[in-house]
Chain A
Amino acid sequence: MPVNIDAVGRAYGPHEPYEVTRIKIREFADAVDARSFAHRSEEAARAEGYPDVVAPTTFAVVIAQQAEFHVVVDPEVGVDFSRVVHADERFTHHRPIIAGDLISATVHIDDIKQRGGISMVTTRTELSDEDGAPVSTVTSTLAVREEA
């Protein structure tokens, strides 16, 4: 079954907010070889002007991919996850993510293009904080190969 083009415009969430912790930021920083102490120590983060440990640039993907999962498992969208390749990704940060943040995510299906047996599904995940202020916009395109 091909991806359903009519799914463009659908939105999912926000679901339960994601609580950003120091230990998760450190774990992620270790995994992507982000070397600043501001990802690891509150004191070092304060010296850089932040109230607490600051997340590396792509940390938002931890929260965004959880949100994007709602698109992948929606049977009415019809994405076969075993045929998915990540095509592109973009982060636009309205402010850095800081330990202690409670982040809500809403994912929108912005575009689906079909060409040559491949569906390009573009999602936009809007992350916001407890006050509803925007934190990051994460745009992701998955290439889904249709069955031959």
Chain B
Amino acid sequence: MSSENGPAFDALEVGEVVAERAVELTRDSLVRYAGASGDFNPIHYNEVVAESVGLPGVIAHGMLTMGTAASVVEEWAGPGNVVDLQTRFTRPVPVPAIGEAAVSFTAKVGALDAETRTARIDVTVEHDGQKVLGKAQAVVSCT
């Protein structure tokens, strides 16, 4: 829609890294996301419940990881310019009671569509050397 504030399409190249961010998720992050989103599933704050359903411990909301990936892309793309975003949740991110879980985000141009002047941005999200999101792709409206 409002892509007047979007990235310049003609300057983009497939394979180019457009944004990167390193985030340290803590239990505070999870409680904050629970409150902001309304997702109060106890596996995101209660060790006993998480372990009782076979998880390695308290894990981050998949939607917190996806939402942060969106923020990394949106900071580059300009607010409101991510018109489509999809992902699979392939691996949980355990978050310790004390300390943090380091998660890295790398956003690259995956494809360019000259007809619609949109860029497909592929986001690689890793924790502990392994990918935690599968096929994380955003479509960005460009100028």
Residues on A lying within 8 angstroms of B by beta carbon are 24, 27-36, 38-39, 45, 48-50, 54, 56-58, 61-62, 65-66, 82-83, 85-96
Contact = CB atoms under 8 A, between A and B. Distances in A.
Given A27-B35, A88-B88, 18 more contacts: A35-B75, A36-B75, A36-B78, A36-B79, A38-B79, A48-B5, A48-B79, A48-B80, A56-B79, A58-B70, A61-B63, A62-B38, A87-B89, A92-B83, A93-B82, A93-B84, A95-B1, A96-B2
B85 interface: yes
B85 A90 contact: yes
B116 interface: no
Q: Which 5 residue pairs are nearest across A and B when measured between Cβ atoms?
A: A32-B67, A96-B80, A31-B36, A57-B70, A90-B86
A36 B80 CA distance: 10
Given A82-B53, A91-B84, A93-B84, A31 B37 contact: yes
B87 interface: yes
Given A28-B36, A31-B37, A32-B71, A88 B86 contact: yes
Contacts of A91: 84-86
A58 B68 CA distance: 9
Nearest to A47: B5
B89 A57 contact: no
Nearest to A143: B89
Contacts of A62: 36-38
Interface in B37-74: 37-39, 53, 62-64, 66-68, 70-71, 73-74
28 contacts: A27-B36, A28-B37, A31-B33, A31-B35, A31-B36, A32-B64, A32-B71, A33-B21, A33-B68, A34-B71, A36-B74, A36-B75, A36-B79, A49-B2, A54-B80, A57-B70, A57-B85, A58-B66, A62-B38, A85-B89, A88-B86, A88-B87, A88-B89, A90-B85, A92-B84, A93-B1, A96-B1, A96-B2
